[in-house]
Amino acid sequence: MSLPRGRTSAPEVSASVEAFLTEPLVATLTTLRPDGSPHVAPVRFTWDAASGLARVMTVVTSRKARNVLANPGGRAVLCQVEGFAWVTLEGTGTVSDDPARVTEGVRRYAKRYWSAPPNPPGRVVLEIAVDRVMNLNT
């Protein structure tokens, strides 16, 4: 998959961060509500180092999807923690119902978590074009 529009390169991460981001762990996703207050939710996600995209499967009616849709170009943040190790992925969030993008999100999710995600009506993929990576002990 190509880089998101307007991006010339994906952020570089170390091999240890890359390995940490392939572990089948849960992360927190932070988006901003229309009133500016943070909404934090536990999610499963995937990381695509080649394109610099983190993906979260959800439904268009979820609070996280509605937050991103209400704030085009707004920020979204994932933070995966295990013990005293963590990685934070931050970037611009978008929501897509494009069948190719949703299919790619499903494929990557199934590979990481060894089973397909739920398939409810209104399924979409929330993509984060990551431009900042922070980590500790990874």
Question: What stretches of the chain adopt beta strand conformation (E)?
Answer: 27-32, 38-43, 46-48, 53-59, 75-82, 85-96, 123-136
| pTM of the predicted structure, to 2 decimals | 0.92
Closest CA to 62 of 54, 72, 70, 73: 70
125-138 pLDDT, tens digit each? 999 999 999 999 99
55-100 pLDDT, tens digit each? 999 999 999 999 999 999 999 999 999 999 999 999 999 999 999 9
The pairing of beta strand 38-43 with beta strand 27-32? antiparallel
**pLDDT, greater one: 104 or 2:** 104
The region that residue 96 occupies, defined by phi over 0 for left and psi between -120 and 50 for alpha, beta otherwise, is beta
4-34 pLDDT, tens digit each? 555 557 888 999 999 999 999 999 999 999 9
Q: What are the angstrom distances between the C-alpha of 115 and each of 105, 112, 131?
A: 13, 8, 29
Tokens of 89: 């992925």
Torsion of CA 93, 105, 26, 82, to 10 degrees: -90
